[in-house]
Amino acid sequence: MRGSCSGFTLARTPLVDRFDLSKLETLHCGAAPLSVEVASEACERLGVHISYGYGMTELSPLSHLTYSASDEDKPASAGYCLPNTTCRIVGIESRVELGPGEEGEVCVRGPQVMKGYLGQPEATAELIDNEGWLRTGDIGYADEDGALFIVDRLKELIKYKGRQVAPAELEAVLLSHPAIADAAVLPSPDEKAGEVPIAFVVMKEAVSAAEIIDYVAERVAPYKKIRRVEFVDQIPKSPAGKILRRVLALKVRQEIRGNEEDTKS
């Protein structure tokens, strides 16, 4: 299944009750983040366990996988390196290899790493270094056992007063609210902070923006708080279930321009 989109559907949609899924034993999840809470709901409802895979097109397409139900003691993990594959976490700025539990960019080396982009040597060199390490552009960490945990995309991190806020973390918190059907978090420009997190939410039940802001604030560090909530009919997503942040970002820019015009008038 495709991450948060399909996971949420299997966990809560009444359509599932129309089908006999008693023979179903295992779901495989990839392509988009899936919160632990939503995954647990889906597993309990269907009586199955979920295995996870991590990768990208340039990794043909996986580098990590959870191998069995015994891996479920680390439900937030994307799994372990595939055979003949190595992974390391490096500092975003320093590029120095980090230790267990330290967050940085995920780099992978193995036989599944692509040879390069056809006719684009410069783009290839930006992604793969001379030692064969591929920069995934994802932020994550590995624990003492080598289990990989993905935090967010490097380019999607929100920079609040020099601190980095991961949209995926806030989206997982939002989706744990029983009245929220779907959610996406984006940065919004701010004169004092640089950027602040704002949330786009699809509701199942009526809840005020203030209630949602307070709900998140109770569960995250102060600098990660949602500053504004926008109610929408749906979150735009790709066929693979990934949030189309550029579509929502355009909406943010349009609102900013509208506010500036109102101020001038």
- Residue 75 has a pLDDT of 77
In a domain, 214, yes or no: yes
The larger pLDDT score, comparing residue 11 to residue 84, is at 84
Q: How confident is the model at residue 6 (pLDDT cuts 50, 70, 90)?
A: low
Of 66-70, 118-122, 124-128, 186-190, give the lowest mean pLDDT range.
66-70
Whether residues 203 and 190 share a domain: the answer is yes
Tell me how far the alpha carbon of residue 117 is from its chain's centroid. Answer: 25
Whether residues 141 and 234 share a domain: the answer is no
Neighbouring-strand partners of residue 183:
201
* Helical spans, DSSP H, in the chain: 3-12, 36-46, 121-127, 167-175, 209-217, 245-264
In a domain, 28, yes or no: no
pLDDT at 205 over 90: yes
CATH number at residue 236: 3.30.300.30
Q: Of all residues in the chain, what percent carry a pLDDT higher than 70?
A: 90
In a domain, 201, yes or no: yes
Whether residues 253 and 161 share a domain: the answer is yes
Mean pLDDT of 15-38: 83
Number of domains in the chain: 2
In a domain, 7, yes or no: no
Whether residues 131 and 191 share a domain: the answer is no
Q: How confident is the model at residue 16 (pLDDT cuts 50, 70, 90)?
A: confident
Of 5-14, 75-84, 102-111, 196-205, give the lowest mean pLDDT range.
5-14
Instruction: Give residue-wise pLDDT tens across range 212-257.
Output: 999 999 999 999 999 999 999 999 988 777 888 888 888 777 776 6
Mean pLDDT of 163-185: 93
**What is the DSSP code (8-state) at residue 69?**
G
Whether residues 61 and 146 share a domain: the answer is yes
**What is the DSSP code (8-state) at residue 193?**
T
236, exposed or middle or buried, with CB in 10 Å at 0-12, 13-18, 19+?
middle
Longest pairwise C-alpha distance within the chain = 64
pLDDT at 2 over 70: no
Domain stops at, among 155, 189, 221: 155
pLDDT at 43 over 80: yes
pLDDT at 170 over 90: yes
Whether residues 140 and 212 share a domain: the answer is no
The larger pLDDT score, comparing residue 101 to residue 35, is at 101
- Residue 97 has a pLDDT of 96
Whether residues 54 and 129 share a domain: the answer is yes
Whether residues 202 and 165 share a domain: the answer is yes
In a domain, 119, yes or no: yes
Residue-averaged pLDDT of the chain: 87
In a domain, 75, yes or no: yes
pLDDT at 141 over 80: yes
Domain stops at, among 155, 176, 200: 155
In a domain, 166, yes or no: yes
Whether residues 194 and 125 share a domain: the answer is no
Domain with 248 in it: 157-257
Whether residues 224 and 246 share a domain: the answer is yes
Contact between 92 and 104 (Cβ < 8 Å): yes
The larger pLDDT score, comparing residue 132 to residue 251, is at 132
- Residue 105 has a pLDDT of 95
Whether residues 148 and 181 share a domain: the answer is no
CATH number at residue 109: 2.30.38.10
Instruction: Give residue-wise pLDDT tens across range 61-120.
Output: 999 998 765 555 787 889 999 999 999 999 988 889 999 999 999 999 999 999 999 999
Of 7-11, 192-196, 257-261, give the lowest mean pLDDT range.
257-261
Contact between 147 and 81 (Cβ < 8 Å): no
User: Three-class SS of residue 52?
Assistant: strand
Neighbours of 244 (CB within 10 A): 13
In a domain, 98, yes or no: yes
Q: Which of 181, 177, 182, 256 is nearest to 218 (CA)?
A: 177
Whether residues 67 and 138 share a domain: the answer is yes
Domain stops at, among 134, 155, 176: 155
